[in-house]
Amino acid sequence: MLNLEEITHLTFDCYGTLIDWESGILEAMQPLFRSRGVEAPPEKILRLYVRHEAELESKGWRLYRQILREVSARIGADLGVKLSEAENNLLPDSIKSWLPFSDTIPSLRRFGKRFELVIVSNIDDDLFAETRKRLEVDFAQIITAEQVSSYKPGEAHFREALRRLNVPPTQILHVAQSLYHDQVPAKRLGFRTAWVNRPSKLTDVGLALPASVEPDIKVADLAGLVRMLDAQKKGGA
């Protein structure tokens, strides 16, 4: 069992870990396709999202807003629908309405009493600014794809976290749902990791490609990590 007393900083993936992006994506896209006479199963939309997002991000950094526009266009093409420019903007424009999971804010407040909190996200600065209003806590650092001109699973986010925080990677617990985007690069650089295996329509993978890695901690949600922290603290008291 990882000794959490050695941890001083928690870094968080945002979308999928703190924010329910599966619901956000589906609430933006399903009505759009229905309006065009296409009833696509949620799992199909999400699998197409995963495939196209990963392929586009692998080609090098562009604003995530642009990535999402092209993801929308490609999903539309796969479903036999040619989306307009305005329709392609619906997905990135919807991010401001994506909601935190029910345990996110209370858990972050508990974590913030004990650790420095950091965001490490594949997002644009302006898009995260809207999400930040919903999270209701202060973050010591916010590291976005726009700032490092790179997308996870590249290492740039994590290297920038080490530079800014100026602590050994063994003092940082990276908390994330995606094995592919987060657990693999974080572990490679020596971070401690917690896999938040939230319920997903794409079971045990979530909105990500498959990946093989062994996280230090496995929990079903952030509340589970809070309970683990409390148990270790009581055990060491």
Task: Quickly list DSSP for 25-79.
Answer: HHHHHHHHHHHTT----HHHHHHHHHHHHHHHHTT----HHHHHHHHHHHHHHHT
CA 199 centroid distance within chain: 14
**Tokens encoding 43:** 């799992």
What region, left, alpha or beta, does residue 190 occupy, with left being phi > 0 and alpha being psi -120 to 50 degrees? left
Peptide bond into 153 cis (omega under 30): yes
Residue 174: closest CA among 193, 160, 157:
193
Catalytic residue check, 13: yes
Determine contact, residues 160/140, Cβ cutoff 8 Å.
Answer: no
How far is residue 152's CA from residue 158's CA, in Å, rounded to a whole number?
Answer: 9
**Residues labelled as active-site residues:** 13
